[in-house]
């Protein structure tokens, strides 16, 4: 346990990434002296992407980790206190709100901005992780552009998987949708569009066993799939693999205290980042399962800081 006295702040930001860092920039410029606590993966999902071509303001391709470093440095430069600690419990039942870190440090805050993000679910194959960012992706919107006239596969059977497959047909010459069952969970309207698309081939009752690549330079060249009914293993030649089996928002910490939907995403008021507890705000992928972009997360971080500032001034 740490012997540090309780640390009090007007604005406690939990989690880094575009939402947390942008909230910090705005809160610091409003003279609120925010404290931002980041965990073991500062910068969040963007630190696992390489080329970023869709963040406004950069005509050249930039690197995800670099962009996060810049945001972090900017937040620091305008007066944010950054602390590496993992918040393990919070008490939002009374004000000031309380949070306790793994370090034993206790934080109290007049307002809290939650920007703990989400993680894409992976198949958790060693070969998949080895080729992450080298042909294996969990975001078609981010990476589809790199697969012009190439053959790609999408794994999954829900709305996200079907939408990713449809989106990828803009670039790829062929898209194979691989699903473990013999029917999709996606909405009927989406399924109809999918079936009508000539570029898409559905491979039923199958699971990816292994991602194959050429090692150096690292590029995906194919996958091994197993038919779950016959146990037969096939090899498919392709250039890219997109995993679309869902995301998990990092919200376990707030269960029983904040309203969330059945998937665990925090619920905020319309046109606002305010949760069901006044003074507690949520920004970025922790509440947004629709857009999941760096620029929308940054926008929500800005909103959260402005809302916190207004709340604190009353």
Examine the residue annotation and report whether 139 is marked as an active-site residue of this protein.
yes
Q: State the Cα–Cα distance between residues 145 and 286, nearest whole angstrom.
A: 26
Catalytic residue among 3, 51, 69, 139: 139
Q: Pick the catalytic residue from 51, 73, 143, 302.
A: 143
- The C-alpha atoms of residue 306 and residue 286 are separated, in whole angstroms, by 18
Q: Are strands 233-237 and 220-227 parallel, antiparallel or unpaired?
A: antiparallel
* Cβ contacts of 105 within 8 Å, gap of 6 or more: 2, 4, 7, 83, 85
Rounded to whole angstroms, how far apart are CA atoms 228 and 205? 6
Phi, psi dihedral angles at 238 (to 5 degrees): -160, 170
Give the Å distances, CA to CA, from 97 to 19, 72, 309.
Answer: 20, 25, 16
- Phi first, then psi: what are they for 11, rounded to 5°? -130, 120
The residue assigned the tokens 């008021």 is 269
Confirm if 18 and 298 have CB atoms less than 8 A apart.
yes
Q: Quote the CA–CA distance of 299 and 108 in Å, as a whole number.
A: 26
143 in catalytic set: yes
Measured CA to CA, the distance from residue 140 to residue 220 in angstroms comes to 16
**Which residue is associated with the tokens 């197993």?**
226
The residue written with tokens 């003279």 in the block is 31
Q: 271 an active-site residue? A: no
* Catalytic residue (one of 3, 102, 142, 214): 142
Q: How far is CA 185 from each of CA 51, 201, 229, 245, rounded to the nearest angstrom?
A: 32, 17, 19, 11
Q: Which residues on adjacent β-strands are paired with residue 98? A: 91, 108
Distance CA 162, CA 166 (A): 6
- On whether the CB atoms of residues 228 and 205 are closer than 8 A, the answer is yes
* Catalytic center residues: 139, 142-143
């Amino acid at each position: 346990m740490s012997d540090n006295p309780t640390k009090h702040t007007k604005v406690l930001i939990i989690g880094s990434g575009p939402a947390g860092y942008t909230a910090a920039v705005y809160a610091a410029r409003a003279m609120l002296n925010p404290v931002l606590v980041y965990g073991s993966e500062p910068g969040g999902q963007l630190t696992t992407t390489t080329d970023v071509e869709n963040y406004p303001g950069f005509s050249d391709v930039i690197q995800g980790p670099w962009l996060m470093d810049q945001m972090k440095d900017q937040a620091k430069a305008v007066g944010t206190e950054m602390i590496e600690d993992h918040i393990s419990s919070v008490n939002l039942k009374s004000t000031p709100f309380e949070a306790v870190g793994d370090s034993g440090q206790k934080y109290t805050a007049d307002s809290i901005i939650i920007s703990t993000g989400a993680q894409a679910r992976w198949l958790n194959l060693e070969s998949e992780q080895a080729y992450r960012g080298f042909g294996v992706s969990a975001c078609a919107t981010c990476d589809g552009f790199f697969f012009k006239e190439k053959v790609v596969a999408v794994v999954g059977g829900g709305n996200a998987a079907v939408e990713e497959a449809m989106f990828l047909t803009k670039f790829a010459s062929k898209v194979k949708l691989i699903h473990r069952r013999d029917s999709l969970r996606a909405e009927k309207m989406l399924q109809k569009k999918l079936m009508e698309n000539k570029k898409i081939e559905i491979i039923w009752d199958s699971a990816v066993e292994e991602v194959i690549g050429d090692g150096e330079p690292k590029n995906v060249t194919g996958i091994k799939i197993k038919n779950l009914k016959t146990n037969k293993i096939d090899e498919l030649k392709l250039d890219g693999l997109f995993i679309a089996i869902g995301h998990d928002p990092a919200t376990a910490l707030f269960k029983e205290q904040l309203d969330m939907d059945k998937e665990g995403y925090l619920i905020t008021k319309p046109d606002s980042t305010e949760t069901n507890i006044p003074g507690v705000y949520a920004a970025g992928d922790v509440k947004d399962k629709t857009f999941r972009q760096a620029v929308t997360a940054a926008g929500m971080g800005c909103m959260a800081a402005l809302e916190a500032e207004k709340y604190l001034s009353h």
